Amino acid sequence: MDQYIRIVVVFVMITVLVLGVVWFFSESVNNLSDEQLLEDKQQLEQALMRACVACYAVEGCYPPTLEHLQTYYGVQINTEVFTVKYEVFATNLMPDITVLVN
């Protein structure tokens, strides 16, 4: 009977250990995913700003629409992941660009 209890205790300890390792791995993967999403968002914001400046340098005015940047300056937006708010005040002022995670 004493050996049976030891086997059960060892089994429970191993099960808890394995579940702990699985949980730790899962949390690590989630944190990496969140960090990657933040980095992707920052890269999109920078790409949009650079394309706006390039447009101003080439055309003498900032792009009138987000579609203009996509069509003529190669900006690609993953609309399943990001929403871009693009507001133009005047052709000689930098547009207000906000990137949101869906």
pLDDT digits (tens, 9 = 90+) for 21-77: 777 777 766 665 778 888 999 999 999 999 999 999 999 999 999 999 999 998 999
pLDDT grade for 88, boundaries at 50, 70 and 90: very high
Rounded to whole angstroms, how far apart are CA atoms 96 and 88? Answer: 7
Question: How is residue 99 written in tokens?
Answer: 């990137």
pLDDT of residue 84: 95
Average of per-residue pLDDT across 69-91: 91
How many secondary structure helices (H) and strands (E) does the chain include?
2, 2
Taking the model in full, what pTM does it have?
0.68
pLDDT of residue 32: 54
Q: Please write the tens of the pLDDT for every residue from 40-54.
A: 999 999 999 999 999
14 to each of 10, 19, 39, how far by Cα in Å?
6, 9, 38
Q: Which residue has the higher pLDDT, 27 or 84?
A: 84
